[in-house]
């Protein structure tokens, strides 16, 4: 290039055309940078996405990599939060979760926090020791379950964490993520809001859960379920009896499967709707049958548990209406029990009114274990409130139980009847009767019984007549 | 001489992990407490070099109250699930250091050494 050429180019570069070219190149680089960010960032939370986490994990697990830890985290019952509070609030919860995780991530150099999708996050901690990773899990659980404000409501959301210790041995990133998922599912199966470290046996547990899910569907087709009924006794000594319907599964090979085991599996998928519908229909049929065979003691009502996902199903009220019509059950003898947190959620109100319009009665179940706003409680179309067994069992052998006293007084001031769950001692019975609690349920009276056992229990010397006499003495 | 530490938190799982983290690093955990009142009583009876306490606990005494009660007696490190700068300032006013739950272990160890040194000259 001659000096003349160089001078000419310099002149162009210094002039308006040069400035335009420079601006174009700079803009192109900015756009490329932005594109790379978009490809590796989660748009909702602003943290890394699965692709970036995968890339970082693969680099850490390559030959010559260092030790560290991978945490796979999943918010507990997030789907329910979305259904109860709406997707906008669900998104706000995800953003807040990412913010809380980011604070812990920021304590570690080179940590990578990513949203894997939905409500699942991952935290890669290169250089963390085994003991340190356990400490982080415990700290995160504590941090994540602090209350979150979603609009007018304050909720607590637990987190389940799967921990994979990376020992510096080369392996596939996908395999490490799969192990983390399995450990996280093990934490869910262990009751949620806890952490579990990956163990190879977890693979077998997952297969077992999937098998159980398949067998549940078969059990519904083959009618392997049965309802048992636990008596609800009137504590004022007046005649009358209610029962709570509780589902039992007689598996042809496994024998009796504990309700906690199969209900948690059913809750995770669409089977809960089929199982819930079966329970309701069977209970309605039983009510109709008992109504036809009136004896000396009236069976007032049958209570049926409604799962949160059932209640939020837009077709649920229609299903209840059909079950009542088909079985000719008196709606006023059916009580639908709804847990406190579900009843309180804004999206439940329309459904509760629709159910009430059918003539069924509504009760808040396990009261005291959720977060209730008194204002919202007063606005709910409820008939009764069931005090959770944990409060009843905490009634001291002598002395006051101020929480129970306050709950009964509050329920009565709202016009609600009170049922105390889990009564096991005469002292608890006496205390609750003195407070004016209307109904009691628990092993002191009876365990859950098969349908034919209820009639037998009612007639037996340890049955309702015995408790009526006891209650009359207590009330008198 | 290893530093003697008292751990105060109502979360038993977290207390257990912190105890193991400290003991593996050579610290001596002289006790655990699950409430602020219990923590103050233990601290005055056991006279540890440092108390590590949660911020919010059931009962009348939270971590900041505990730090205020022990000010001038035993140095306190507040471990919190909250990153509120206002709380950090209040912890400083009560003479306590402030760390986040789930922070790096070496940050806890450094804070322990600094807290013990500033108060008693140990080790």
Per-residue pLDDT of chain B (123 residues; tens, 9 = 90+): 689 999 999 999 999 999 999 999 999 999 999 999 999 999 999 999 999 999 988 888 999 999 999 999 999 999 998 888 898 999 999 999 999 999 999 999 999 999 988 765 444
- All residues of chain B having their beta carbon less than 8 Å from the beta carbon of residue A140 are 101-102
B17 and A146 within 8 Å at the Cβ level: the answer is: no
What is the spatial distance between Cα A163 and Cα A186, in angstroms, rounded to a whole number? 11
A135 and B18 within 8 Å at the Cβ level: the answer is: yes
Interface residue of A106, A125, A140, A142 to substitute, partner B, most B CBs within 10 Å: A142
Is a pLDDT exceeding 80 seen at residue A195? yes
Q: How many CB pairs under 8 A join A and B?
A: 61
Cβ within 8 Å of A, B 13-72: 13-14, 16-18, 20-21, 24
Q: Provide the pairing of β-strand A68-75 with A159-166.
A: antiparallel
The pLDDT assigned to A1 comes to 59
Taking a C-beta distance cutoff of 8 angstroms, is the pair A256, A228 a contact? no
B105 and A129 within 8 Å at the Cβ level: the answer is: yes
Taking a C-beta distance cutoff of 8 angstroms, is the pair A364, A343 a contact? yes
The pLDDT assigned to B123 comes to 45
Taking a C-beta distance cutoff of 8 angstroms, is the pair B77, B64 a contact? no
Q: Which tens digits make up the pLDDT trace of A67-120?
A: 899 999 999 989 888 888 889 999 999 999 999 999 999 989 899 999 999 999
The pLDDT assigned to A466 comes to 66
Q: Which tens digits make up the pLDDT trace of A223-254?
A: 999 999 999 988 887 777 899 999 999 999 99
Average pLDDT, integer, range A312-319: 89
Average pLDDT, integer, range A460-476: 59
Q: Provide the pairing of β-strand A299-306 with A255-257.
A: unpaired
The pLDDT assigned to A475 comes to 52
Is a pLDDT exceeding 70 seen at residue A296? no
What residue of B is the nearest CA neighbor of A128? B104
The more confidently predicted of residues A37 and A327 is: A327
Q: Which tens digits make up the pLDDT trace of A348-377?
A: 888 999 999 999 999 999 888 776 677 778
What residue of A is the nearest CA neighbor of B24? A131
Alpha helices in A124-270 (DSSP H): 130-144, 173-189, 202-221, 259-267
Taking a C-beta distance cutoff of 8 angstroms, is the pair A176, A199 a contact? no
Q: Across all residues in chain A, what is the average pLDDT?
A: 88
Rg from Cα positions in chain A: 30
Average pLDDT, integer, range A3-13: 72
Question: Is residue A61 within 8 angstroms of chain B, CB to CB?
Answer: no
Least confident of A38-42, A121-125, B26-30: A38-42
What is the spatial distance between Cα A255 and Cα A264, in angstroms, rounded to a whole number? 18
The pLDDT assigned to A399 comes to 87
Place of tokens 């009583």: B41
Q: What is the pTM of this model?
A: 0.66
Q: Provide the pairing of β-strand A225-234 with A195-197.
A: unpaired
Q: Which tens digits make up the pLDDT trace of A329-354?
A: 999 999 999 998 888 877 788 899 99
Q: Which tens digits make up the pLDDT trace of A402-452?
A: 999 999 999 999 999 999 999 999 999 999 999 999 999 999 999 999 988
Structure tokens at B51: 């108390």
Q: Which tens digits make up the pLDDT trace of A202-217?
A: 888 778 888 888 999 9
- Non-local CB neighbours of A129 within 8 Å, separated by 6+ positions: A67, B105
What residue of B is the nearest CA neighbor of A107? B103
Query: Distance from B25 to chain A by nearest Cα, in Å?
Result: 10
């Amino acid at each position: 290039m001659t000096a003349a050429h160089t001078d000419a180019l310099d002149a162009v570069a210094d002039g308006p055309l040069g400035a335009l070219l420079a601006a174009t190149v700079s803009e192109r680089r900015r756009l490329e940078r932005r594109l790379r960010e978009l490809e590796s960032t989660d748009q909702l939370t602003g943290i890394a996405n699965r692709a970036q986490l995968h890339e970082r994990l693969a680099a850490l697990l390559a030959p010559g990599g260092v030790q560290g830890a991978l945490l796979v985290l999943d918010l507990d019952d997030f789907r329910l939060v979305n259904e109860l509070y709406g997707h906008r609030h669900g998104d706000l919860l995800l953003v807040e979760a990412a913010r809380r995780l980011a604070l812990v991530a920021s304590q570690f150099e080179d940590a990578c926090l990513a949203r894997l999708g939905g409500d699942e996050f991952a935290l890669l901690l290169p250089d963390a020791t085994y003991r340190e990773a356990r400490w982080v899990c415990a700290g995160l659980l504590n941090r994540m379950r602090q209350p979150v404000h979603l609009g007018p409501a304050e909720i607590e959301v637990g987190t389940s964490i799967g921990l994979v210790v990376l020992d510096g041995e080369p392996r596939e990133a996908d395999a490490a993520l799969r192990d983390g998922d399995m450990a996280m599912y093990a934490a869910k199966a262990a009751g949620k809001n806890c952490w579990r470290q990956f163990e190879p046996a977890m693979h077998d547990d997952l297969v077992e859960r999937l098998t159980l899910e398949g067998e549940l569907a078969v059990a519904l087709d083959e009618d392997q379920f049965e309802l048992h009924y636990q008596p609800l006794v009137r504590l004022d000594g007046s005649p009358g009896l209610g029962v709570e319907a509780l589902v039992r599964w007689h598996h042809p090979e496994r024998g009796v499967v504990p309700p906690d085991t199969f209900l948690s599996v059913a809750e995770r998928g669409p089977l809960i709707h089929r199982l819930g519908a079966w329970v309701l229909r069977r209970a309605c049929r039983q009510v109709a049958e008992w109504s036809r065979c009136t004896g000396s003691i009236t069976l007032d009502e049958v209570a049926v548990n409604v799962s949160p996902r059932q209640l939020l199903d837009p077709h649920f009220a229609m299903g209840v209406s059909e079950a009542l019509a088909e079985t000719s059950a008196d709606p006023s003898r059916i009580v639908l029990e709804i847990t406190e947190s579900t009843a309180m959620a804004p999206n439940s109100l329309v459904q509760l009114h629709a159910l009430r319009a059918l003539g069924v009665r509504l009760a808040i179940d396990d009261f005291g274990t959720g977060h209730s706003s008194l204002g919202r409680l007063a606005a709910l179309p409820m008939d009764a409130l069931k005090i959770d067994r944990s409060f009843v069992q905490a009634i001291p052998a002598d002395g006051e139980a101020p929480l129970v006293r306050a709950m009964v007084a509050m329920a009565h001031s709202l016009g609600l009847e009170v049922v105390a769950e889990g009564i096991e001692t005469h002292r608890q019975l006496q205390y609750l009767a003195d407070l004016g609690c209307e109904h009691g349920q628990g092993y002191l009276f009876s365990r859950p019984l098969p349908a034919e056992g209820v009639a037998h229990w009612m007639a037996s010397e340890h049955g309702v007549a015995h408790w009526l006499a006891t209650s009359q003495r207590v009330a008198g | 001489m290893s530093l003697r530490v008292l751990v105060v938190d109502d979360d038993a799982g977290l207390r257990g992990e912190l105890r193991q983290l400290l003991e593996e690093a050579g610290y001596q955990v002289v006790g655990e407490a699950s409430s602020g009142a219990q923590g103050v009583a233990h601290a005055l009876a056991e006279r540890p070099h440092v108390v590590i306490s949660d911020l919010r606990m059931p009962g009348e005494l939270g971590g900041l109250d505990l730090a205020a009660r022990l000010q001038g007696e035993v140095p306190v490190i507040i471990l919190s699930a909250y990153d509120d700068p206002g709380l950090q300032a209040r912890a400083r006013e009560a003479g306590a250091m402030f760390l986040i739950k789930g922070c790096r272990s070496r940050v806890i160890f450094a804070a322990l050494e600094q807290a013990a040194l500033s108060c008693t000259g140990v080790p």
